[in-house]
């Protein structure tokens, strides 16, 4: 065998051996990768397929139907004083912030000219009355005609009417308290000239207060005059009780609410008109209310839903809600007594997902 043939023979052996080594290494690598991929893929099992959650079985229960709202306090009576007739203030008979009684004289406007006219008219009435008496005596003996006597009677009546007109004009120069209450700040002084547009002072009756508030229209058929109203003020930290006494006979089209007004005692005068208060209105109790935990109610685009378990899977049910309290929501439609409502794992649930429910 020549040197050339010998070289070719060893080269072929080398190539064959190298090919076998490459093939063996490739098989080892493929085998190793396959085992790793198998280890990376989780195997489904019956234990991990169903989500374990908590739930409650719905049972009808008695519900204190309380509607919460916010309101504004008003004085039971309130008046701003202005003069009925223009003139100069002659006397101011009240102290700012003082309590006054009904019909107390508060402000006197000068009426000297009217008093003089009244005195003149009274003298004219006295003279006309004496003349009428003489005319009557003559008429009884046919000394004058009926027409002449009627003229004298009419003159007396006309002068009396003038007197009444003057008395009414004088009364307009007096400002009296229309009811018992507390006077506010005054904006004029003695000697000031006032007209019918001049603000003098105000009076508030705060021994009783009105509270204005509104509730959603869905409660309009459940509220009635005489219902108990409880409210509290954040400023005074006190609670007050009152009774509903007036209901607006229409729904506000802009807010879809019903306007209500309650009356309560405030003899201690610890709360003032204009205060902001929190309202609790007690409606009729519901004996068979369907209540669910508030965390189980899910807001969606067209309303609200809850998840219930049916045949081992979670099912999303649209619901209509009613009264709310701190922990529960009333369900008016969508689920019934005996349904199991899911209360945890809400964000992980999808309709049709298998669930294991732990009932509490």
- Predicted pLDDT at 61: 87
- Predicted pLDDT at 39: 42
- How is the chain split into domains, by residue range? 52-62+287-359, 68-75+207-286, 111-172
- Predicted pLDDT at 30: 56
What is the pairing mode between strands 181-183 and 228-233? unpaired
- Predicted pLDDT at 179: 94
> Average pLDDT by consecutive 10-residue portion of the chain (360 residues)?
55 62 60 45 49 91 85 94 93 94 95 94 94 89 88 93 95 94 94 93 94 91 89 81 93 93 90 91 84 91 91 92 84 91 90 89
- Predicted pLDDT at 38: 41
What is the pairing mode between strands 328-333 and 340-342? unpaired
Fold classified for 52-62+287-359: 2.40.420
- Predicted pLDDT at 21: 62
pTM of the model: 0.64
Q: According to CATH, what is the number of the domain 68-75+207-286?
A: 2.40.30.170
- Predicted pLDDT at 212: 95
Largest CA distance in the chain: 193
Percentage above 70 pLDDT, the chain? 87
| Exposed e or buried b per residue across 69-85, where buried means at least 16 C-beta atoms within 10 angstroms of its C-beta | bebebbbbbbeebebeb
Are the folds of 52-62+287-359 and 68-75+207-286 the same?
no
- CATH match of 111-172 with 1.10.287: yes
Which contacts qualify for 35-42: CB closer than 8 Å, 24 or more apart? none
């Amino acid at each position: 065998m020549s040197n050339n043939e010998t070289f070719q023979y060893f080269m072929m052996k080398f190539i064959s051996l190298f090919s076998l080594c490459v093939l063996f290494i490739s098989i080892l690598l493929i085998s190793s990768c396959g085992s790793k991929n198998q280890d990376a893929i989780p195997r489904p099992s019956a234990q991990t397929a169903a989500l374990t959650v908590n739930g409650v079985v719905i049972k009808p229960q008695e519900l204190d139907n309380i509607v919460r709202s916010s309101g504004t306090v008003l004085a039971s009576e309130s008046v701003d004083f202005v003069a009925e007739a223009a003139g100069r203030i002659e006397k101011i008979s009240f102290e700012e912030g003082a309590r006054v009684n009904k019909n107390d004289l508060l402000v006197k406007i000068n009426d000297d000219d009217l008093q003089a006219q009244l005195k003149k008219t009274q003298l004219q009435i006295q003279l006309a009355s004496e003349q009428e008496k003489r005319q009557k005596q003559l008429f009884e003996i046919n000394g004058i005609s009926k027409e002449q006597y009627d003229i004298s009677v009419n003159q007396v009546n006309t002068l009396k009417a003038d007197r009444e007109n003057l008395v009414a004009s004088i009364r307009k120069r007096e400002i009296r308290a229309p009811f018992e209450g507390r006077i506010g700040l005054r904006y004029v002084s003695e000697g000031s000239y006032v007209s019918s547009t001049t603000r003098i002072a105000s009076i508030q009756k705060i021994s009783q207060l009105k509270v204005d508030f509104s509730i959603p229209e869905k409660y309009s058929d459940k509220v009635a005059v005489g219902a108990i109203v409880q409210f509290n003020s954040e400023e005074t930290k006190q609670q007050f009780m009152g009774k509903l006494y007036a209901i607006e006979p229409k729904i506000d089209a802009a807010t879809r609410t019903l306007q209500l007004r309650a009356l309560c005692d405030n003899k201690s005068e610890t709360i003032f008109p204009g205060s902001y208060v929190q309202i609790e209105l007690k409606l009729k109790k519901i004996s068979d209310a369907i209540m669910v935990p508030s965390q189980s109610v899910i807001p969606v685009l067209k309303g609200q839903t809850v998840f219930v378990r049916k045949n081992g899977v979670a099912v999303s049910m649209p619901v209509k809600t009613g009264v709310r309290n701190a922990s529960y929501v009333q369900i008016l439609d969508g689920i019934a007594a005996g349904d199991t409502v899911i209360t945890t794992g809400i964000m992980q649930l999808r309709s049709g997902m298998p669930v294991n429910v732990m009932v509490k």
